[in-house]
Amino acid sequence: MRLILRLAWRNVWRNPHRTGLTVAATVFAVLLVVVFVAMAAGVHDKMIEDSVRLSSGHVTIAGAGYLEERTLEKFVHFDPKLARELDTTPGVVGWAPRVVGFGLLSNGPETHGIAVLGVDPARESAVTTLPGRVTEGRFVGGAGSHEIVLGERLARSLHAQLGEQLLLYSVAYSLEMAYDLFTVVGTMKLPDPAMDRGLGVVNLRDAQSFFVYGDRVSEVAILARSADETSVVQAKLEREIPGKDVAVYGWPQVMPELVQFIFLDDASMYIMLVILVVVVAFGILNTLLMSVLERKREFGVALAVGLRPKAIFSLVYVESMLLAAVGLAIGLGLALPLVLWLVGHPIDLHSEAMRAMVELLGVEPQIVWKLKVMNPVGSAITIFAVAAIAALYPAFKASRARPVDALRSI
């Protein structure tokens, strides 16, 4: 085996040009795979993080069936016990209780149906970026202030100026008419056009008294340390807040469209990478086959002097594996530092075309990279496996050479 390894190593460098090209192809494949996978991981992570910080949090506690039908009938009682539970659950970085209702917001002749979001301003900024999205004026004040902050488009279509009082009209949880005047104190820019056109934010307590909701809230948004910890925190909370009327949702349940997008995006990327790897594999196959055909005479002589076909098979196979290993080593050696550098250097894409993505997904247009252990390991295994399969045929071909024919050919 040592002998074969040494022979193979020498054979590999007998034709440096050919070897160099094959190695270069492998290096290129490794580089592309690692960088692309890291980019997808980074971009997807950022999408999740941005969406989570826009509204839902990583984990959401709400009334059972809330995701199917977000009405006032779906609620949780937000009592001190629940607050204590959230404060003492490890992995919970922040939490924000909210009331989500529906109302008609009217300014003179203009009336629009809106989602009314009641938030605790101090708690909200610990979980979401909502308070930071105010572009004009300021965020809602304390309980009893009767202030409202509107999406920019909503404010525009209502012709609402800062300081104006608007009528909010709805049906309370107690099934009586709910109406009150709210003062516009700010407008905010929301990436989702539907939200920008149809969201009004008020103080949590104002929303609770408007909807005659008592200590009820529609949802509690919870921030974990990262998206990766979502299921852990979700499981912990599920254990600690039992009850058939309460549900604990993870962000994939709250935002299935995001999960779907990531799945599709990953799928198309992997298909592309598989095609790339297969092309590289055919390159390697071609090189090896050419070299085997060129060395027909050599193999014939080796067989004639008594080398067993099995040994020739091993020799050629080990040569191929060495080629792949060298390519892989150089590829990873280049890719890892590159990706590690890229991780610290996201690329901003504030172009007109990217605005569409922002509006569609509520994500900042930025390309970021994230390196997970599975990325280089998985790439190495995949490329090695493909090379191992590609090498089978040339090795087989070499071992089947017949001494008489081989010696007769050049």
Partner 1 sequence: MNALRIVGTALGVLWLAATTAVADVAAAASEAPLPDAREIARRAEDVLRGASAYTDGEMTIVSPRLPAPRTVRFRSWDDRGGDRSFIRILAPAKDRGTGFLKIFPNLWTYIPRVERTMRIPPSMMLQSWMGSDFTNDDLVRQSSQLDDYDHVLLRVEEGFQGLGGAGPYRAYVVEYRPHEDAPVVWGRIVTWIEVVHASPLRQEFYDEDDVKLRRMDFGDIREVDGRFVPHLWVMTPLEKQGYETRIQIHEIRFDEKFDDSIFTTRNLKRRD
68 lines the binding site for partner 1 (CB under 8 A):
no
Query: Among 181, 271, 356, 360, which residue sits at the site for partner 1 (rule: CB under 8 A)?
Result: 181
From CA 398, how far away is CA 140, in angstroms rounded?
A: 78
Amino acid type, 36: F
Query: Among 7, 49, 85, 106, which residue sits at the site for partner 1 (rule: CB under 8 A)?
Result: 106
115 lines the binding site for partner 1 (CB under 8 A):
no
Query: Among 28, 179, 261, 270, which residue sits at the site for partner 1 (rule: CB under 8 A)?
Result: 179
From CA 133, how far away is CA 131, in angstroms rounded?
A: 6
163 lines the binding site for partner 1 (CB under 8 A):
no
Residues in region 242-301 near partner 1 by CB under 8 A: none
Toward partner 1, which CB reaches closer, 165 or 286? 165
Toward partner 1, which CB reaches closer, 66 or 139? 66
Contact, 227 vs 52, CB < 8 A?
yes
Nearest Cα to Cα of residue 325 among 385, 397, 272: 385
Q: Please measure the distance between the N-terminal and C-terminal CA atoms of the chain and give it in whole angstroms.
A: 29
CB of 114 to partner 1, least distance (A): 11
Query: Among 167, 262, 329, 392, which residue sits at the site for partner 1 (rule: CB under 8 A)?
Result: 167
Toward partner 1, which CB reaches closer, 8 or 62? 62
Contact, 258 vs 362, CB < 8 A?
no
Nearest Cα to Cα of residue 162 among 190, 134, 142: 134
Contact, 147 vs 201, CB < 8 A?
no
77 lines the binding site for partner 1 (CB under 8 A):
no
Q: How many residues form the binding site for partner 1 (CB under 8 A)?
A: 19
180 lines the binding site for partner 1 (CB under 8 A):
yes
Angle between helical axes of 374-390 and 309-343 (0-180°, round to 10): 150
Place of tokens 């610990």: 126
Q: Count the alpha carbons within 13 Å of 382 in the hemisphere toward its beta carbon.
A: 20
Query: Among 16, 20, 113, 243, which residue sits at the site for partner 1 (rule: CB under 8 A)?
Result: 113
From CA 353, how far away is CA 308, in angstroms rounded?
A: 64
CB of 199 to partner 1, least distance (A): 16
Q: Among the candidate windows 164-172, 240-248, 280-288, 298-306, which touches partner 1 by CB under 8 A?
A: 164-172
Contact, 159 vs 107, CB < 8 A?
yes
Contact letters for partner 1, residues 17-56 (x by CB under 8 A): ----------------------------------------
Q: What is the binding site for partner 1 (CB under 8 A)?
A: 73, 104, 106, 109, 111-113, 167, 169, 171-177, 179-181
